[in-house]
């Protein structure tokens, strides 16, 4: 396949120019390779050709909650959103805390539409009591460990996790939440929670735990990755830790840099997630953190839920929203508003997640398997429930006019999503 | 009132959604309905043939009775449904309950529910008008309106008044509706209570958070106390009811700091001797029972007005 006249943006190789990309035998061909006679040619003028996007934080719900999402539907949603790889969190039923669950996930993923990189649990059953078998799970194919969905309450266990994970080159991903402070809350604590009469989760519930993780990483010298950062204070803690050389990396999500707790007005349960949507000052601080490199990655925290969990009273609704299909246009808004450059956009959504978790991909180097995303940055579309590819429809962006879209997603040279014809 | 004003609300979900003109119009309408309750034959045919459902997921005596009396005085047919929230959450969802009731074509559904946003949610799933009779710790708009009506009856106006609200602001939907309502009408609302019961961001809603009980009450035109919910005692928000009564309870001496003609109010039911001392509750400045009387008039006005916009 020959992608003609696209703007190739490949920060790892310091490439940003309009050119053609040739894929031969499922791999990216070196520049100057003669185009074979039977090559399919797609004109991608006006589009960006970027390394396959990687979402380093998704919930695929299989095994156990296949009525919300499964590995096939989740990877189909990923491909539709431009992602060639997804990193799936272990809070399935059962929890991915053993080699057998990891192997099951990877087996299901062989029929999927994107690469699936499982995360193993930090603790057995994610109960926060004793370490899960990182070594065996690593052999089976996990790329990181996390008890995501829950914090590791016990600081000694977290310290041991950082140390033991390093034996296997695994990064620990922290769901940073001080549970006793966040207790029973269902939205950000502030004037909106007061007016709506909903129990609040203070910003400090995040920053207290982010600081603990930084302190443990600094003390042990082991890397830590902070998931789904939502507050100004946590952003500042990460910024200052990075400045003094702590091995901390961090992600934020499109909803935290796009929405605020004002979106909860009307009690739409698709605005309920954990951590919650925060104040405008937090949203601005997240955007600054994206500009100055405090954040390494944009992940979606794609969290499918069915109407059973969402069409209920706000306090009773499950946390989480889907995000794979809206990440590209919402992140491109940052480019349009000058918050990040095109290059930075690609780093946040591809190169950096690959680097943090030692994943293949994240670049368009010659000879690499052809994981490629083609984005039309000007394509406008309205996102409606009937357009959602994911099995679940719990998005706060339904009805939005979005701009910029993945028009071709290629994994290993195979087309998984194509709006180009 | 602005010229060309017309009341345009199909639902009454919160004071937040009402403009000062709306509030003024509701109170004026309520004033005119009040007289009906003092007639020998306390019934007008205004809502004859209309079906009103009282859907109460939380126990309530006065609010439910008040809405029922209001509806009957307007000749509407009323039906009461009491459902415990806990059994409802185990079985049928609120939306299913709403759809089932909607299938019987009521004109108005009055809902009381333990979760904030329940009235808003109901309004999105039924054709009927929805009146919020208290949802979680969100709002209790008809209570706010009857409080404003009572104060306006005594003071002839609401602008420029000093309203002191004392007690558990955090959990009080009555306080939330009153802070928003009185502020919209030009009163200044001073609040005081244990810091653990003062919610975040209250100043941004227009309230003035005081550092002492004296500061809140001094020269006030209205002293309103809120019910301490004894069932919240498991959550350590203050050490004991004993200390609460001593430090935050409204006594005669406290009321003496307010203006001599200040009104003493309480949304009820009162914990006598805790948030409000008995001699104050029953004293000459207390308008607590007038609040109840006016509740019927305000609710008649609300039923009438939402029917005009359905």
pLDDT tens figures, B201-214: 999 999 999 999 99
Among residues B310, B274, B271, B265, which one has the least CA distance to residue B292? B265
Contacts B202 to A, Cβ<8 Å: 191, 194
> Averaged over B23-39, what is the pLDDT?
95
The predicted pLDDT at position B98 comes to: 87
pLDDT-wise least confident of A100-109, A399-408, B95-104, B166-175: B95-104
Could you tell me what percent of chain A has a pLDDT over 90? 99
pLDDT at A275 over 80: yes
Among residues A394, A372, A380, A262, which one has the least CA distance to residue A323? A394
CA distance A311 to chain B (A): 8
Give the residues across from B112 on adjacent strands: B56
The predicted pLDDT at position B231 comes to: 67
Assign B153 a pLDDT band (cuts: 50, 70, 90). Answer: very high
Give the residues across from B206 on adjacent strands: none
The predicted pLDDT at position B309 comes to: 65
Contacts A189 to B, Cβ<8 Å: 200-201
Annotated catalytic residue within B9, B16, B62, B259:
B62
- The residue of chain A nearest to residue B97, with distances taken between CA atoms, is A312
Would residue B90 show up in a list of annotated catalytic residues for this protein? Answer: yes
pLDDT at B105 over 70: yes
List of residues 6+ apart from B139 with CB closer than 8 A: A197, B13, B14, B15, B16, B132, B173, B176, B177, B180
The predicted pLDDT at position B60 comes to: 87
* Cis peptide bond N-terminal to A63, omega within 30: yes
Contacts A198 to B, Cβ<8 Å: 116-117, 136-138
List the single best residue of B199, B205, B236 to mutate versus A (max A Cβ within 10 A).
B199
Q: What is the mean pLDDT of chain B?
A: 93
> Averaged over A191-195, what is the pLDDT?
97
B141-287 CATH: 3.40.50.1370
Assign A47 a pLDDT band (cuts: 50, 70, 90). Answer: very high
- The residue of chain A nearest to residue B124, with distances taken between CA atoms, is A266
Among residues A53, A48, A35, which one has the least CA distance to residue A7? A48
Maximum mean pLDDT: which of A295-299, B3-7, B94-98, B271-275: A295-299
Torsion of CA A81, A87, A88, A90, to 10 degrees: -160
Q: Please, how many CA atoms are within 13 Å of residue A311, restricted to the half-sphere of its CB?
A: 16
Direct distance between the N- and C-terminal alpha carbons of chain B, in angstroms, rounded to an integer: 23
Give the separation between CA B123 and CA B10, rounded to whole angstroms.
9
The predicted pLDDT at position B143 comes to: 98
Contacts B121 to A, Cβ<8 Å: 267, 313-314
Contacts B173 to A, Cβ<8 Å: 197
Please give the helix or strand (H or E) that residue A119 lies within, else none. Answer: strand A115-120
The predicted pLDDT at position B59 comes to: 86
Q: What is the mean pLDDT of chain A?
A: 97
pLDDT at A183 over 90: no
- Length of chain A (residues): 421
Do A315 and B94 lie within an 8 Å CB cutoff?
no
Distances (CA, A) of A131 to A91, A120, A151, A220: 15, 11, 14, 17
Residues 168-187 of B with CB under 8 A from A: 173, 176, 180
- Length of chain B (residues): 310
Q: Which of A190, A196, A311 sits opposite B116 (nearest CB)?
A: A196
Annotated catalytic residue within A10, A147, A301, A371:
A301
Do A314 and B115 lie within an 8 Å CB cutoff?
yes
- The residue of chain B nearest to residue A267, with distances taken between CA atoms, is B117
Is the alpha carbon torsion for A34, A35, A38, A39 positive or negative? Answer: positive
- H helices of chain B, where? 20-34, 62-73, 85-90, 94-102, 118-123, 141-155, 173-184, 213-217, 241-248, 252-257, 278-281, 288-307
Annotated catalytic residue within B3, B61, B90, B200:
B90
Would residue B63 show up in a list of annotated catalytic residues for this protein? Answer: yes
The predicted pLDDT at position B230 comes to: 73
> Averaged over B259-263, what is the pLDDT?
98
Is residue B90 less than 8 Å (CB to CB) from chain A?
no
Would residue B140 show up in a list of annotated catalytic residues for this protein? Answer: yes
Distances (CA, A) of B241 to B198, B235, B264, B271: 17, 13, 21, 10
3-state SS, A7-67, equals: EEEEHHHCEEEEEEEEEECCEECCCCCCCCCCCCEEECCCCEEEECEEEEEECCCCCCCCC
pLDDT per position as a tens digit, A206-255: 999 999 999 999 999 999 999 999 999 999 999 999 999 999 999 999 99
List of residues 6+ apart from B98 with CB closer than 8 A: B109, B121, B122, B125, B126
pLDDT at B2 over 70: no
pLDDT-wise least confident of A339-348, B81-90, B93-102: B81-90
Contacts A191 to B, Cβ<8 Å: 200-202, 204-205
The predicted pLDDT at position A255 comes to: 98
C-beta atoms surrounding A387 within 10 Å: 12
pLDDT at A359 over 70: yes
Q: Which of B117, B200, B204 sits opposite A314 (nearest CB)?
A: B117
pLDDT-wise least confident of A65-69, A179-183, A268-272, B217-221: A179-183
Annotated catalytic residue within B112, B162, B171, B299:
B112
State the CATH architecture for B20-140+292-307. 3-Layer(aba) Sandwich (3.40)
* Residue A293 zone, left/alpha/beta (φ > 0; ψ -120 to 50; rest): left
> Averaged over B77-97, what is the pLDDT?
75
pLDDT at B235 over 80: no
Query: Residue ranges per domain, chain B?
Result: 20-140+292-307, 141-287
> Averaged over B71-90, what is the pLDDT?
79
Is residue B206 less than 8 Å (CB to CB) from chain A?
no
Do B200 and A202 lie within an 8 Å CB cutoff?
yes
pLDDT per position as a tens digit, A86-136: 999 999 999 999 999 999 999 999 999 999 999 999 999 999 999 999 999
The predicted pLDDT at position B1 comes to: 58
The token pair at B224 is: 């309103």
Q: List the domains of chain A with CATH numbers.
A: 52-360 (3.20.20.140)
pLDDT per position as a tens digit, A307-338: 999 999 999 999 999 999 999 999 999 999 99
pLDDT at A406 over 70: yes
The token pair at A192 is: 């909106």
Give the separation between CA B273 and CA B280, rounded to whole angstroms.
10
pLDDT at B89 over 60: no
Give the residues across from A315 on adjacent strands: none
pLDDT at B24 over 60: yes
> Averaged over A178-187, what is the pLDDT?
93
Give the separation between CA A245 and CA A221, rounded to whole angstroms.
10
Q: Which of B115, B135, B137 sits opposite A316 (nearest CB)?
A: B115
């Amino acid at each position: 396949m020959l992608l003609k006249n696209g703007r190739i943006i490949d920060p790892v190789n310091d490439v940003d120019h309009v050119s053609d990309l040739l894929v031969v035998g499922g791999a990216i061909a070196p520049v100057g390779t003669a185009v074979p006679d039977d090559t399919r040619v797609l004109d991608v003028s006006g589009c960006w050709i970027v390394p396959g996007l990687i979402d380093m934080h998704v919930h695929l719900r299989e095994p156990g909650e296949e009525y919300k999402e499964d590995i096939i539907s989740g990877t189909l949603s990923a491909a539709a959103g431009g992602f060639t790889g997804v990193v799936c969190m272990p809070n399935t039923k059962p929890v991915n805390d053993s080699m057998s669950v990891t192997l099951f996930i990877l087996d299901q993923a062989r029929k999927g539409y994107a690469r699936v990189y499982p995360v193993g649990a930090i603790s057995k059953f994610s109960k926060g009591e004793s370490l899960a078998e990182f070594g065996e799970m690593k052999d089976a194919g996990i790329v990181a460990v996390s008890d995501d969905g829950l914090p590791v309450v016990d600081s000694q266990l977290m310290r041991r996790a950082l140390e033991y994970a390093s034996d296997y080159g695994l990064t620990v991903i922290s769901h940073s939440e001080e549970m006793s402070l966040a207790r029973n809350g269902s939205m950000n604590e502030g004037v909106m929670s007061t007016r709506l009469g909903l129990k609040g989760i203070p910003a400090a519930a995040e920053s207290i735990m982010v600081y603990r993780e930084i302190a443990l990483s600094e003390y042990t010298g082991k890397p830590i990755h902070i998931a789904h950062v939502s507050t100004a204070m946590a952003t500042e803690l990460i910024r200052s830790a990075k400045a003094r050389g702590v091995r901390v990396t961090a992600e934020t999500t499109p909803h935290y840099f796009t929405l605020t707790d004002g979106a909860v007005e009307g009690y739409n349960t698709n605005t309920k997630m954990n951590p919650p949507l925060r104040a405008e000052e937090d949203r601005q601080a997240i955007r600054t953190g994206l500009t100055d490199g405090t954040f390494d990655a944009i992940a979606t925290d794609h969290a499918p839920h069915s109407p059973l969990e969402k069409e209920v009273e706000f306090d009773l609704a499950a946390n989480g929203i889907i995000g794979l299909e809206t990440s590209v246009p919402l992140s491109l808004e940052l480019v349009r508003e000058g918050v990040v450059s095109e290059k930075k956009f690609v780093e946040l959504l591809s190169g950096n997640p690959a680097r943090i978790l030692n994943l293949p991909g994240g670049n368009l180097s010659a000879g690499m398997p052809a994981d490629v995303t083609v984005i039309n940055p000007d394509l406008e579309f309205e996102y409606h429930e009937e357009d959602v590819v994911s099995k679940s429809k719990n998005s706060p962006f339904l009805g939005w006019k979005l701009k910029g879209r993945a028009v071709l997603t290629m994994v290993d040279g195979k087309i998984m999503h194509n709006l180009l014809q | 009132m602005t010229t060309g004003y017309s009341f345009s609300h199909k639902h009454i979900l919160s004071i937040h959604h009402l403009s000062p003109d709306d509030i003024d119009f509701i109170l004026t309408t309520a004033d005119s309905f009040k007289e009906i309750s003092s007639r020998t034959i306390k019934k007008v045919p205004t809502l004859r043939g209309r079906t009103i459902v009282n859907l109460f997921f939380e126990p309530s005596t006065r609010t439910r009775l008040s809405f029922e009396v209001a509806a009957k005085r307007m000749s509407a047919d009323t039906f009461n449904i009491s459902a415990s929230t806990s059994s409802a959450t185990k079985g049928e969802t609120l939306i299913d309950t709403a759809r089932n009731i909607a299938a019987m074509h009521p004109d108005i559904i009055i809902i009381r529910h333990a979760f904030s946003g329940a009235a808003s949610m109901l309004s999105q799933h039924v054709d009927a008008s929805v009146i919020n009779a208290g949802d979680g710790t969100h709002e209790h708009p008809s209570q706010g309106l009857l409080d404003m009506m009572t104060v306006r009856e005594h003071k002839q106006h609401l602008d420029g008044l000093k309203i002191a609200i004392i007690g558990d602001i955090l959990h009080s939907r009555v306080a939330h509706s009153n802070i928003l309502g009185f502020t919209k009408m030009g009163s200044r609302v001073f609040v005081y209570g244990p810091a653990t019961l003062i919610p975040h961001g209250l100043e941004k809603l227009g309230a003035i958070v005081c550092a002492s009980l004296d500061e809140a009450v001094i020269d006030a035109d209205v002293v309103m106390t809120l019910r301490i919910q004894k069932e919240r005692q498991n959550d350590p928000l203050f050490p004991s009811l004993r200390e609460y009564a001593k430090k935050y309870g409204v006594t005669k001496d406290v009321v003496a700091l307010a203006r001599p003609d200040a009104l003493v109010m309480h949304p009820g039911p009162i914990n006598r001797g805790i948030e409000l001392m008995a001699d104050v509750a029953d004293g000459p400045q207390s308008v607590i029972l007038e609040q109840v009387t006016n509740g019927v008039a305000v609710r008649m006005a609300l039923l009438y007005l939402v029917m005009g916009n359905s």
